[in-house]
Structure 1
């Protein structure tokens, strides 16, 4: 038994509301269950209850047993002085306020909806399953799932937007600098994301502004700060980058001692940091005002056009400095651009609009719905139960659902869990 379940029962009145009585046999009539409080203090604020012949307004506290009141030391906390009803599953002790007046107690054991209780036990007794509702997920109404996933997507987007806000504060409200850091992290993907971010954070964005007119200078800057130009070489292009970087290093007083090492191991060659850094340099050379272009973009076609970039000429026939390979364009793929939009561009657009006092919810909904669902273990897991991931909005929402609800047993805060409890 979880207290969260009792919160659910009280909030949704899953009890015999016509026959409620206190432990002293006073009749109880619920006018309002109150506002659910997820922070410290009583569980429900501003409830309205008729107890006996008296109408009360105040707070409601919920416990498994009455004695939990003392176990949690509420009798010493002034925040609980306005509790008008103590709702418990099992009444095992009378509870008193600091002025020695007794707090009325409602025991739920005999009045709880048995169907809901059985559904609760079924949901939380699931052992060794991927998610608690694995056996019942397919039976959940499509409308409930669709609405819940849309809400979860924006819940996840809000988390990403908060990270944008933190970087914005650190960057003294320089949106271009924030965009560069987040794009760099995305270009590094999972393996090198933090390393790319540390490289991007190792210099002021003004340095990029002053060098982006010259693609080779920008590439030398990125490679040098990444620590990829430190070895002696007879490769002419590498030598040229080294000379350019030494000039930039002196000019802008650069240092890279805190930049994380870049990994090549177990990466497919197109994802080598050499290739991704060159593409990033080409992007910033091609688009001198990238932020304004991205904010103005209204369709995925606009994004695909903006990110139509390749590497510099040297990297068309190389993956590393030392070894030549078959020549290829090495353009950013559609799938890679989709990831950039999901993980960087849309959080930036959302946060930027919020700062401007604008709403882009509809625009973002349309954009994310244009992108195919990501293929990962979570989307595959849910789709094996019932096909629910048809776009990137769904796959992003499913990540939020699995990691923040399913894995932490927050079924009672989940619309899917609620629908199964109320069957």
Structure 2
């Protein structure tokens, strides 16, 4: 019997409350199960109970067997002298406080509903399944699922906030610098994300601010730091960038030895790093206050307008420096902007508002709900069980659900798992 299931039974009172007795036959009346403790120490703090005729306030410890008390060496820890009830699945020995007073014990298996046990065993059966509840997922009510997905979406935003907070420490709380680095990473997508991230981190944002007046200067800065201006090419545009970068490198003492190499292999030409770096330079050239503009945007159309930029004219007929191609304007597509919103803009907007003590959850939900759902193996699998993902809010929530709950067997911390067991 897993202890997390016993925690679940106690926390949600999935027991016959009217007939509870200790192993010594004293009646138990639960006023409060206490506060669930996920850190070291007793499992539940500040429980309130009546055992026999005595009213108790203190902590509760839970084990599969009462003898586990000694396996965990609780008899040597004075923190466990505060235990007022030992909750176990199976009673096999008495346990004592350091003053030799016996700790009352509740044997759960005598008072737990068989239906709860059956549903638990069904959920955690050893059959090969993509997720534990895949056979019952379609039966979950839409209202319950919708509310749980919203919570999961914000959990995912909180998780992404960790990276943002680490960058804030590195940049001495420079939000614009953090925005520049995170945005660069996602311009590189999966294949070149790490490389673009390293390029952005190799450039102090103060240099970007000083270079924004000239698009060519920004391009030279980015292409040069990416190591793409080291060849000998008789192309006017390339030579101009090379000359500009040489000047910038000397002026700002630039170093790019830590920049990860760029990849072209298996990329569609519109996603070549040459095109994305030029578009990124255009974005910062056209919007001197990009960060503040992004933080003020409150709907999807605002973002589409803000990110309506193209690569410079040279790239209309090129995807690489040397080879010409069919002429086309390399504009950021709405689908690409959607990815930037999902992975960079909304997480930073959420984190920034939180830092400022502002509640913009409704704005975040509104925008996330209007962005089309992502398409990936996790979302496709959930949609195969029940058509449920129509927006990025839901697709992000399902990624959080699968990676942080389903794959880790945390069904007892999941609203869906709780519902199915009940």
Residues 186-239 of structure 1 deviation map (CA, whole Å, 9 limit, x = unaligned)? 101111111101100002101001111100110010000011111222222212
What SS does structure 1 have at the residue aligned with 2:182?
Answer: helix
Unaligned runs of 5+ in 2: none
Moved more, 397-406 or 67-76: 67-76
Q: CA deviation at 1:342?
A: 1.1
Q: Distance in 2 between matches of 1:44 and 1:383?
A: 38
What SS does structure 1 have at the residue aligned with 2:110?
Answer: coil
**Residue of structure 2 equivalent to 1:327:** 327
The answer as to 2:339 corresponding to 1:339 is yes
Provide the alpha-carbon RMSD of the alignment.
0.9
TM-score by length of 1: 0.98
**Residue of structure 1 equivalent to 2:364:** 364
Q: CA deviation at 1:79?
A: 2.0
The answer as to 2:92 corresponding to 1:92 is yes
**Residue of structure 1 equivalent to 2:50:** 50
Q: Distance in 1 between matches of 2:343 and 2:367?
A: 13
Mapping for residues 123-202 of structure 1, pairs under 5 Å: 123-202=123-202
Q: Distance in 2 between matches of 1:294 and 1:288?
A: 12
The answer as to 2:379 corresponding to 1:379 is yes
What SS does structure 2 have at the residue aligned with 1:38?
Answer: coil
The answer as to 2:274 corresponding to 1:270 is no
Q: CA deviation at 1:126?
A: 4.3
The answer as to 2:389 corresponding to 1:389 is yes
What SS does structure 2 have at the residue aligned with 1:102?
Answer: coil
Mapping for residues 168-247 of structure 1, pairs under 5 Å: 168-247=168-247
Q: Distance in 2 between matches of 1:179 and 1:161?
A: 12
Q: Distance in 2 between matches of 1:70 and 1:327?
A: 76
Q: Distance in 2 between matches of 1:9 and 1:355?
A: 37
What SS does structure 1 have at the residue aligned with 2:181?
Answer: helix
Unaligned runs of 5+ in 1: none
Q: Distance in 2 between matches of 1:161 and 1:151?
A: 15
What SS does structure 2 have at the residue aligned with 1:309?
Answer: coil
Q: CA deviation at 1:127?
A: 2.1
> After TM superposition, where is structure 1 displaced by more than 3 Å over at least 4 residues in a row?
none
TM-score by length of 2: 0.99
Residues 77-98 of structure 1 deviation map (CA, whole Å, 9 limit, x = unaligned)? 2221101001000111111111
**Residue of structure 1 equivalent to 2:416:** 416
Mapping for residues 9-48 of structure 1, pairs under 5 Å: 9-48=9-48
Q: CA deviation at 1:276?
A: 0.5
Aligned length in residues: 422
Q: CA deviation at 1:125?
A: 0.5
Q: Distance in 1 between matches of 2:57 and 2:147?
A: 34
